Structure 1
Amino acid sequence: MYAPERQREIVSLARAVGRVDVRGLAQCLEVTQETVRRDLTTLEQAGLLRRVHGGAIPAERLDLEPPVAEREGRMMAEKERIATAALDELPDGGSVVLDAGTTTVRLAQLLPTDRELTVVTHALPVASLLAPRPNVTVHLLGGVVRTRTLAAVGDWARESLGSLFVDVAFLGTNGLSADHGLTTPDLAEATVKRALVERSRRTVVLADHMKIGRRDFAHVCPLASVDAVITDTGLSDALATEVEAAGPTVVRA
């Protein structure tokens, strides 16, 4: 197989499954890992792929932030395990932040009914889910609602957080890497997420393994500001070690 044919196959695989890894490609294409790395570099330079730790993702994934309804059906089993593991991070009482995101919505659904909790959120799905709960006091931050995430962003949301200090913040993220920390496609949402981290004693990030090693447009915070990352068992040992070296504990549920 010539290089152009091999590279077309790599792009097709990446688009079909969302991510490719060097070792798997080398075995599939019957070439060395160094050959695969050269192909990935060529494809990245052509704007077709984006290199991440151990492999690559399609470049179009960096420019597209799917709406909430589309993301809800993705990696449901992994999100269930992540949200269940996150329950161990809840305070016995006290206050938590629930960020926008499909995994944080699942955490909201799993919140216990036998303890009093104060929940601060800028996510409309989280607020509407928890508002009827008698044991939960919901503080909904105001702002401009982003249609893709149904999260309130802007100065109103950020300034409202200035008078609060919560026990634990549960954050979602689009990208997480040792070098660039937490990232997201939208600047306004990144600003609110950063404020959530700053106004919390402890920060726990909920992210499936496809988001780890990825970098998006807007920086939220370094991993040194994060206490724990809860992900799934699809995360490699090498990448888990790299993330932990940057600061947070990694839990693979």
Structure 2
Amino acid sequence: MYAEERHQAIAELVASRGRVAVTELASHFDVTTETVRRDLSQLERLKLLRRVHGGAVSMRSVTMLEAQLSDRDQAQAGEKERIARAAATLLPEGGCTLLLDAGSTTIRLAGQLPPTEQWTVITHAVPIAALLAPLPHVEVHLLPGRVRTATQAAVGHATVEAVRHLRADLAFVGTNGISVRHGLSTPDPEEAATKSAIVASAQRVVALTDASKVGQERTVRFAELEDVDVLVTDSGIEPADLKAFEAAGVEVLTA
């Protein structure tokens, strides 16, 4: 089989299945995994698929990986409320400087900031800034950048550069997927770059995610597990996953 024929066959296979693994393709076409990776890179440049960790997904699948913020807010709403309340117990007495990532769970956490303390909140999320700006016990700093419709959060070079010049006591980040193998990940590269900068700019990092995202691997990794101090999730997490995260050095708090 010529390379062009293999490329067409791979593209058709990914389109029909939605996702395929490198090892599966190598076995199917009797070529090396290195050859498959080169094939996938060429097909990605042609926008026929999107490479992900260990394989590729169809472009249709990629567009479905990231729901709008309003849709995500309704999904697992009860779990997210409990996660936010549990995360609030990690807030230090006396207040501090917080970096708050965009997301349906982090906005719930923002509403949990005790009014008896003074807080400095740095965020790229427009809804979080709008929620906190009127409150006298919170000093809000909204980061610059282009606001994405899907997340209502600022992203881009200006956002990343602004975060890199900051140092916060505590960061709360959301994620579209988390696994021992792939770490924390999200579909959008610009969103990932901002999240990565947030993680790097905090002395302590807390990840907030409901159990449905555990084991999920999205296109772009923005943090390794070792970058996270605490994972706050709900009681739906599988015992095996909980043990795996703890073995990787992450403290897990279940709500």
TM-score normalised per structure 2: 0.76
Q: CA deviation at 1:45?
A: 11
CA distance in 1 between counterparts of 2:62 and 2:243 reads 24
Match of 2:17 among 16, 25, 47: 47
> Distance in 2 between the 1:76 and 1:115 partners?
27
2:186 paired residue number: 184
Q: 2:165 aligns with which of 163, 166, 178?
A: 163
Q: Following TM superposition, by how much is the alpha carbon of 1:238 offset from its aligned partner in structure 2, in angstroms?
A: 0.4
Aligned-partner residue type, residue 238 of structure 2: S
Corresponding residue of 1:90: 91
2:128 is aligned to 126
Matching residue of 1:231: 233
Offset of residue 68 of structure 1: 0.8
Distance 1:223 1:245 in 2: 11
- Match for residue 139 of structure 1? 141
Name 1:106's counterpart in structure 2. 108
Aligned twin of 1:69: 70
Deviation, structure 1 residue 91: 2.2
Opposite residue 151 of structure 2, the aligned amino acid is: T
Task: Confirm whether residue 200 of structure 1 aligns to residue 170 of structure 2.
Answer: no
Question: Contact conserved, 1:229 with 1:251, CA < 8 A, in 2?
Answer: yes
Q: Among 195, 214, 229, which residue is 1:212 paired with?
A: 214
Q: CA deviation at 1:171?
A: 0.2
For residue 169 of structure 1, report the CA deviation from its aligned partner: 0.3
Aligned-pair RMSD on alpha carbons? Answer: 2.1
Q: Take 2:138 and 2:18, find their aligned partners in 1: how far apart are those partners?
A: 46
- Alpha-carbon deviation of 1:61? 6.4
The question of whether the paired residues in 2 share the 8 Å contact of 1:96 and 1:120 is answered with yes
Q: Deviations for 1:84-115, whole angstroms, at most 9, x for unmatched residues?
A: 00011112211111100000011111211110
- Ranges in structure 2 where 5+ consecutive residues have no aligned partner: 1-13, 22-57
Equivalent pairs counted in the alignment come to 205
- Residue 23 (structure 1) aligns with: none
Distance 2:78 2:189 in 1: 30
Counterpart of 2:89, as a letter, is D
> In structure 1, how many angstroms separate the alpha carbons of the residues matched to 2:249 and 2:207?
12
1: CA distance, partners of 2:238 / 2:164: 38
Give the counterpart letter for 2:163 in structure 1.
Answer: L
Moved over 3 A (4+): 48-51, 59-63
Kept in 1, the 8 Å contact 2:18–2:61? The answer is no
Secondary structure of 1:81's counterpart equals helix
Q: Deviations over 1:221-247 (max 9, x none)?
A: 100000010000000110111122222
Q: 1:99-139 CA deviation, whole Å, 9 max, x = no partner?
A: 00000011111211110000010000000000000000001
How many Å separate the matches in 2 of 1:244 and 1:158? 30
Instruction: Specify the alignment match of 1:174 in structure 2.
Output: 176
TM-score by length of 1: 0.76
Change (3 A) 1:63 1:246: farther
